[in-house]
């Protein structure tokens, strides 16, 4: 069946997605018997498929002259996964034996596989749509619905214990990633068809050996049939057991991931509730302080108004008090003189209308600058002038 040029991108996406699923399954099958390292053919094929998926329709970096310099998926991982908690990006950047960008990307794949966090990194990067659109063109696998399936498929790899050497030839950035599709294109006969073929062979064998002894032929045929049935049943049970084991590991890892997300969400919710309670308490205290300040200001305003009223009343009553005080001073001066008013005393009394003149008069009397009545009468030399 020929594939048109329009359907080629979709066909390539489906092929890459199918190859990724098969590569993960072969890795899971191989991990049941041996440890996965750099020399495993299944791992080499899986890494090649993953690099092709991450590099599908990857944008180059535009220079000043309008040309695009090639980049690798490591630049995208650095930008999109820099905020992953406890990430390994800085440690990979500081590796001395790994210089090219593609080599750092391959080292990152091996490190996160050993940390059992490859699916977490891919999911975190896919949530950053801005960075993903900045690094990938339209039609890329990382921008389609297949990317979410990729992250879900990679969860099963968290059940495998990987062991890698980060100084081997697999990190060479000059070697291109080549995918081998032959392990996924092999024809595998089902157990049912195998049993049916065996039955046909037994039928042909029994029909060709009719000349032999009937009892011995029947006995041998029954024994062979029982053995073949037992073998086919064992194969079917083994296949079902392995499938159930893979599903169990996948579900356990999925449950663990969901529990971690749930605990993180619960802790975040508690933090938000505590912050809300603290904010409400601080707002309540501020409200009470503001109410107390308002009451205090009202009391001060009331006291200021009372003082202003008292000062106004005193300013109105001050002229009458001055007049009464002046009359009292004049009466006391007349009492002290003991005689009729003279022009000098009248002028003196007229000058006592103020409190300052009264104070000066008292000081003059105390210094005996003013003559007493007896002295004024007995002095004969005083002229009328």
Residue labelled with tokens 């992953």: 84
What percent helix, strand, coil does the chain show, rounded to 5? Answer: 70, 0, 25
Helices (H) and strands (E) in the chain, counts: 14, 2
DSSP 246-298: HHHHHHHHHHHHHHHHHHHHHHHHHHHHHHHHHHHHHHHHHHHHHHHHHHHHH
10-184 is classed in which CATH architecture?
A: Up-down Bundle (1.20)
Rounded to two decimals, the pTM is: 0.49
Distance CA 377, CA 380 (A): 8
pLDDT, one tens digit per residue, over 348-364 is: 444 444 444 444 444 54
Q: Which of 9-18, 126-135, 266-275 has the lowest mean pLDDT?
A: 9-18
3-state secondary structure 175-186: CCCCCCCHHHHC
pLDDT, one tens digit per residue, over 90-134 is: 999 888 888 888 889 999 999 999 999 999 999 999 999 999 999
Distance CA 373, CA 30 (A): 141
Distance CA 28, CA 42 (A): 10
Distance CA 115, CA 93 (A): 17
Residue 295 pLDDT grade (very low, low, confident, very high; cuts 50, 70, 90): very high
């Amino acid at each position: 069946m020929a594939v048109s040029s329009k359907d080629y991108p979709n066909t390539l996406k489906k092929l890459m997605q199918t190859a990724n699923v098969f590569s993960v399954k072969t890795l899971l099958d191989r991990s049941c018997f041996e440890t996965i390292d750099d020399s495993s053919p299944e791992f080499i094929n899986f890494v090649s498929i993953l690099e092709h998926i991450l590099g599908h329709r990857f944008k180059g970096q535009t220079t000043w002259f309008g040309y695009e310099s090639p980049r690798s998926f490591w630049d995208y991982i650095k930008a999109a996964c820099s905020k992953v908690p406890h990430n390994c990006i800085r440690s990979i950047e500081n590796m001395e034996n790994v210089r090219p960008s593609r080599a750092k990307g391959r080292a990152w794949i091996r490190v996160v596989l050993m940390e059992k966090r490859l699916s977490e990194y891919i999911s975190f990067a896919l949530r950053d749509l801005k960075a993903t659109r900045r690094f990938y063109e339209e039609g890329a696998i990382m921008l389609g619905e297949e990317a979410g399936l990729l992250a879900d498929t990679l969860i099963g790899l968290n059940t495998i214990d990987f062991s890698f050497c980060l100084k081997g030839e697999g990190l060479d950035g000059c070697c291109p990633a080549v995918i081998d599709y032959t392990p996924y294109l092999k024809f595998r006969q089902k157990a049912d068809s195998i049993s049916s073929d065996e039955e046909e062979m037994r039928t042909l064998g029994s029909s060709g050996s009719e000349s032999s002894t009937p009892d011995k032929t029947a006995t041998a045929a029954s024994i062979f049939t029982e053995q073949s049935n037992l073998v086919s049943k064992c194969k079917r049970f083994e296949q079902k057991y392995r499938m159930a084991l893979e599903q169990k590991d996948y579900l356990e890892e999925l449950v663990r991931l969901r529990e971690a997300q749930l605990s993180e969400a619960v802790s975040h919710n508690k933090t938000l509730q505590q912050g809300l309670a603290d904010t409400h308490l601080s707002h309540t205290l501020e409200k009470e302080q503001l109410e107390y300040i308002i009451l205090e200001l009202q009391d001060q305003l009331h006291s200021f108004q009372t003082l202003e009223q008292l000062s106004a009343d005193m300013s109105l009553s001050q002229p009458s008090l001055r007049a009464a005080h002046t009359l009292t001073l004049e009466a006391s001066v007349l009492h002290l003189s003991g005689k009729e008013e003279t022009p000098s005393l009248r002028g003196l009394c007229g000058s006592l209308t103020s409190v300052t003149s009264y104070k000066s008069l008292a000081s003059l009397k105390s210094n005996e600058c003013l003559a007493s009545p007896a002295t004024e009468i007995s002095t004969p030399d005083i002229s009328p002038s």
